[in-house]
């Protein structure tokens, strides 16, 4: 994956595209970190298991069900599950857990004066 991204970067590299690449790579890093952090804390998987055990309420059982398109037990689904915490049939509380994570990361980055996706200024 890194080789492909490096080749794409080299092919489309200009001084104007540098902020776009920086923002895109920051977004990928934050997404990978979300998957790793939520999986390490057991949040994404833990919420699902606690809902199955009826210890957490299930407001909406499946916000979406993509297992017929991209099964989480297949090769690509397993890779995405390990990297991003992919779940083919995500519940509302799992989506909320990711939303809270991204909100916290966004607030912290804005308080430190960093913008995750910089804007590109066009010269006139």
- Rounded to whole angstroms, the Cα distance separating 117 from 124 reads 22
Residue 101: burial class (beta carbons within 10 Å; 0-12, 13-18, 19+): buried
Question: What pLDDT is attached to residue 44?
Answer: 62
pLDDT digits (tens, 9 = 90+) for 33-52: 777 776 666 666 677 777 77
Bigger pLDDT: 32 or 16? 32
Question: What pLDDT is attached to residue 2?
Answer: 66
Sequence ranges of the domains in the chain: 20-111
User: Looking at the predicted structure, is the pLDDT value of residue 29 above 70?
Assistant: yes
- Rounded to whole angstroms, the Cα distance separating 16 from 75 reads 37
Which residues, in sequence order, are bridge partners of residue 65? 89
User: Looking at the predicted structure, is the pLDDT value of residue 121 above 80?
Assistant: no
The Cα angle at residue 108 between residues 103 and 113, in degrees rounded to 5: 125
What are the DSSP E strand ranges found in 21-115? 64-65, 89-90
pLDDT digits (tens, 9 = 90+) for 64-80: 888 889 888 889 988 88
């Amino acid at each position: 994956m890194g080789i492909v991204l490096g080749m794409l970067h080299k092919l489309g590299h200009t001084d104007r595209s540098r902020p776009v690449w920086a923002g895109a790579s920051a977004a990928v890093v934050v997404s990978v970190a979300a998957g790793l952090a939520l999986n390490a804390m057991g949040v994404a998987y833990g919420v699902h298991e606690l809902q199955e055990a009826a210890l957490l309420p299930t407001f909406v059982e499946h916000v979406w069900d993509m297992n017929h398109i991209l099964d989480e037990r297949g090769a690509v689904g397993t890779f995405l599950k390990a990297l991003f915490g992919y779940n083919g049939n995500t519940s509302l509380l799992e989506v909320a857990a990711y939303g809270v994570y991204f909100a916290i990361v966004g607030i912290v980055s804005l308080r430190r004066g960093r913008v995750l996706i910089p804007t590109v200024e066009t010269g006139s």
